[in-house]
Amino acid sequence: MTDETNRKQRFCKILLEEAQTRKSLNENMSLDEPSRKHIEAIVDYQYLPHNHSSRTSSEYQKLHNSVVSLEAEKILKISKDFKEFHSKTTNEHQNPVSNIWKWILDNCEKLVWKDVENYIDTYSLVTVSKKENDKLRMTKNVIGDPEKRYEEAGIVITRLEKPPKDFF
Q: Is the pLDDT of residue 142 over 90?
A: no
- Local confidence band at 6 (pLDDT 50, 70, 90 cut-offs): confident
Mean pLDDT of 101-128: 95
Percent of the chain whose predicted confidence (pLDDT) is above 90: 69
- The alpha carbon of residue 71 and the mean position of all alpha carbons in its chain are separated, in whole angstroms, by 19
> Which of 42-51, 59-68, 155-164 shows the lowest per-residue confidence on average (mean pLDDT)?
42-51
pLDDT score of 166 = 95
Domain spans, the chain: 3-167
Percent of the chain whose predicted confidence (pLDDT) is above 70: 92
> Which of 45-49, 52-56, 69-73 shows the lowest per-residue confidence on average (mean pLDDT)?
52-56
Strand order in the sheet with 125-129: 89-93, 125-129, 67-69, 157-159
Cβ atoms of 12 and 45 within 8 Å: the answer is no
pLDDT score of 47 = 78
